[in-house]
């Protein structure tokens, strides 16, 4: 044991260099950027990721990182056989074009809102086109997807905050857009290339297109479905994929999302009962986003559940219906307390989570809405719980907004 310990050395993150083997980042999995604690540093980006998460110090293993021969071997191993985790964390393709500059949440929110509503209008149009048997206007949808991607690159939390605004008439409409926003956020989070995010976003926004061909009374039935009705609902996957296949300029990955977003790694999904590795990253991300948005939305046959409950539900499905690693990445992106969660503080005040601090998922940015006596707080009073001056303030519980009769959308 001592022998092992002697090879370990704590160093400052800024002193890390390529080829060093990080033995421990000193954080739990949801509090650091990697899928595991131990990692050979093979790119400068990995060091930058640690800095972004506010990790100033790491423990390195000199035995595994000090021998040049070993380093080369490890790098070859990572680049060759490559573990699944590395494939997810590392972009395979280069990001084309100019990188988009990030901006603060407050600055992006109005622009993100505009982008969201414009995309909502386009979604309304293409769903109507599909119902009427007209072809989807792909370039128009693609343009909206590009705008969402730009906005998400500028500030991911602004996009995520908007999917809380669910006060619209038609479920498929907002759901289609929200699944696209969520998928794009996850794609950004795992450093997908722009092209991959583009295909992911397009597939996600069109994922339920086939529902336009399922009778309305079946889609919105309040009581339990007959086997025949359930088959009709399930058919939206194949119908949607067939509709898209006939549409020009649709990438294969987008068609695959439409067909396979209900597939699960244990083979329990549909329509093709795919398992494990047959379910690629596009399908997985869209599938997770689909379930999360469905759970957090009101349906005719059941009420929504709060964001953190939805995450808990999805977390329980890891290793069963969804790949464990991807569920963890999804949680990292959304936060333990996702935007829109109503929380109680140790001061007795009630606040709503506005955005997540990905370096400290338990300490998000919040806006106070009720004082300890339950009296509404007027004006915008925000707190970044990660800031030193608020370190005495902690989240002690999560509250279902319906118990207080609150509409949280007014706070975004």
Binding residues for Fe ion, rule: CB under 5 A, are: 208, 290
CB of 396 to Fe ion, least distance (A): 34
> 57 - beta bridge partners?
12
Give the phi and the psi of residue 372 in degrees, each rounded to 5.
Answer: -60, -20
- Alpha-carbon distance of 188 to 295, in angstroms, equals 23
Give the helix/strand (H/E) hosting 57.
Answer: strand 57-61
Nearer to Fe ion, 147 or 208 (CB): 208
Nearer to Fe ion, 202 or 369 (CB): 202
Nearer to Fe ion, 262 or 329 (CB): 262
Nearest to 151 by CA among 196, 184, 191: 184
Nearer to Fe ion, 29 or 168 (CB): 168
CB of 208 to Fe ion, least distance (A): 4
Question: Other C-beta atoms within 10 Å of 233: how many?
Answer: 18
CB of 258 to Fe ion, least distance (A): 8
Nearer to Fe ion, 157 or 208 (CB): 208
CB of 211 to Fe ion, least distance (A): 7
- Please, is 260 exposed, middle or buried when counting C-beta atoms within 10 Å of its C-beta (0-12, 13-18, 19+)? buried
Contacts by residues 146-150 (CB-CB < 8 Å, ≥ 24 positions apart): 146/198, 147/115, 147/118, 147/119, 148/115, 148/116, 148/119, 148/180, 148/181, 148/184, 148/201, 149/184, 149/188, 149/194, 149/197, 149/198, 149/201, 150/100, 150/115
CB of 349 to Fe ion, least distance (A): 36
CB of 260 to Fe ion, least distance (A): 10
Q: What is the CA radius of gyration of the chain?
A: 22
């Amino acid at each position: 044991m001592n022998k092992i310990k002697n090879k370990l050395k704590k160093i400052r993150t800024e002193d890390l260099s390529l080829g060093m083997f990080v033995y421990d980042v000193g954080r739990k999995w949801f509090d650091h950027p990697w899928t595991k604690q131990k990692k050979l540093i093979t790119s400068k980006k990995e060091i930058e990721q640690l800095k972004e998460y506010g990790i100033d110090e790491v423990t390195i293993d000199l035995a595994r990182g000090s021998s040049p021969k070993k380093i080369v071997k490890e790098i070859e191993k990572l680049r060759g056989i490559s573990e699944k985790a590395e494939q997810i964390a590392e972009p395979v393709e280069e990001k084309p074009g100019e990188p988009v500059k990030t901006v603060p949440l407050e600055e992006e929110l109005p622009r993100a809102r505009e982008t969201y509503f414009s995309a909502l209008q386009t979604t309304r149009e293409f769903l109507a086109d599909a119902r009427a048997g007209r072809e989807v206007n792909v370039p128009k949808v693609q343009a909206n997807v590009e705008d969402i991607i730009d906005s998400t690159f500028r500030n991911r939390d602004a996009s995520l905050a908007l999917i809380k605004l669910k006060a619209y008439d038609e479920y498929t409409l907002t759901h289609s857009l929200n699944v696209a926003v969520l998928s794009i956020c996850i794609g950004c989070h795992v450093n997908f290339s722009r092209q991959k995010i583009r295909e992911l976003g397009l597939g996600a926004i069109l994922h339920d297109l086939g529902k336009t061909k399922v009778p309305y009374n079946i889609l919105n039935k309040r009581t339990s479905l007959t086997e025949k009705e359930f088959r009709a609902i399930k058919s939206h996957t194949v119908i949607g994929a067939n509709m898209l296949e006939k549409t020009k300029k649709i990438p294969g990955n987008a068609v695959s999302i439409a067909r396979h977003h209900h597939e699960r790694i244990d083979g329990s999904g549909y329509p093709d009962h795919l398992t494990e590795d047959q379910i690629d990253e596009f399908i997985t991300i869209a599938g997770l986003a689909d379930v999360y948005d469905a759970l957090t939305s009101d349906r005719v046959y059941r009420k929504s559940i709060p964001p953190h409950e939805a995450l808990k539900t999805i977390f329980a499905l890891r290793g069963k219906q969804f790949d464990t690693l991807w569920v963890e990445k999804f949680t990292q992106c959304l936060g333990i307390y996702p935007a829109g969660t109503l929380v109680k503080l140790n001061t007795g005040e009630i606040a709503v989570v506005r955005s997540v601090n990905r370096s400290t998922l338990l300490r998000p940015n919040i806006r106070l809405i009720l004082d300890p006596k339950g009296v509404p707080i007027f004006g915008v009073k925000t707190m970044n719980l990660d800031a030193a001056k608020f370190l005495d303030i902690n989240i002690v519980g999560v509250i279902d907004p319906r118990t207080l009769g609150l509409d949280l959308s007014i706070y975004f």
